Amino acid sequence: MKSLLSFGLLLVLSSSALAFFPPSPPPNYYHEEQETDPSRPNQPANRIISNSVRYGKDKQTEKEPKTSGDFFDGLRLSTVYTRTSFDDHDVNSSGEVDELGFYISGNLGENTTLTLGYTNISYKYTLPSPDTKTHAHGYEAILHHNLSENYGIGVYGFYQDIDIDNQNPNTYSYGGGLLFTTFHELGPVNLATSHTLTYVDYDTNDDYIYVGLIDISKDITDWFGVGVNTSWTDSLSDNAENSDDNYWTVGADLRFYWESFSLSVGYEKTLKLSDYEDNTLQVSLTYSF
């Protein structure tokens, strides 16, 4: 009887201890990763910045740019789907990212364009703890002005609300920056560049990020073209200890044109990150009114 009473008392004490000192929750992947840098490829902030730098390239290489000052005469609707598989050894994780974006662009003047966008980013990654999912909802605005046929400048801003399944509180990132674009016809090929300097404020810190992109394209026929591109990303702040945050991205895409539609199918890969590997497929469809 004495042993049964002792066992019962032990169970009561153990239950009380668990009530006051519950087991630690699984590690928060997003916040661990935020302690590296928002410039890393699979960060929500970096993905929305990449949309801005790609916009500069796409704006300068669109098949038939609209020059009317009427917003509706220059109206364009675009949707972009991106699928990335990655291995991030920095936080001992691998997974997939699905990103779907919707954009509307229109003229504010003969040489000025306003673009509004919404992106939905879904992460699924595997940790030492059970699989975790994260959803990021992003809103962005880009204002671009053509200085001439060859050069353009712009500003942009964004906000992201980030929902981490089964964890509270959720998190966020927001920021804005400057955009500079160039475009030149070099014989049979077109050369476009896009440069961004972005300030990012996120849950645990802030950062300045530079992204520069070079795109070389060639039209094979009236309805088909090809392009190759490379970009460089650099975190200008040293916020994260032992963080590898400077890297190259290389890619190529096929471009199809049919009346008012344009379709692009491309592949990208991150290079020069010692603890990170990825493969990205991107499909974009644009309709110009």
- Residue 166 belongs to domain with CATH number: 2.40.128.130
In a domain, 18, yes or no: no
pLDDT at 43 over 70: yes
**pLDDT at residue 70 in the model:** 65
Q: Is the dihedral of CA 70, 217, 255, 157 positive or negative?
A: negative
Q: How many CB atoms lie within 10 A of CB 154?
A: 24
In a domain, 13, yes or no: no
Choice between 225 and 4, residue whose per-residue pLDDT is larger: 225
How many distinct helices (H) and strands (E) make up the chain?
Answer: 3, 12
In a domain, 15, yes or no: no
| CA separation for the pair 111, 40 (Å, rounded) | 34
Question: The whole model's pTM is what?
Answer: 0.80
Q: Which of these ranges, 57-71, 94-108, 264-278, has the smallest mean pLDDT?
A: 57-71
In a domain, 16, yes or no: no
Choice between 214 and 12, residue whose per-residue pLDDT is larger: 214
Instruction: Give 72's Cβ-side CA count (13 Å radius).
Output: 0
In a domain, 5, yes or no: no
In a domain, 159, yes or no: yes
Q: Which of these ranges, 134-143, 147-156, 200-209, 214-223, has the smallest mean pLDDT?
A: 200-209
Q: Which domain holds residue 217?
A: 23-288
In a domain, 177, yes or no: yes
pLDDT at 131 over 70: no
In a domain, 109, yes or no: yes
pLDDT at 226 over 70: yes
How many domains are there within the chain?
Answer: 1
pLDDT tens by residue, 49-98: 887 778 766 766 666 555 555 656 778 999 999 999 988 877 677 889 99
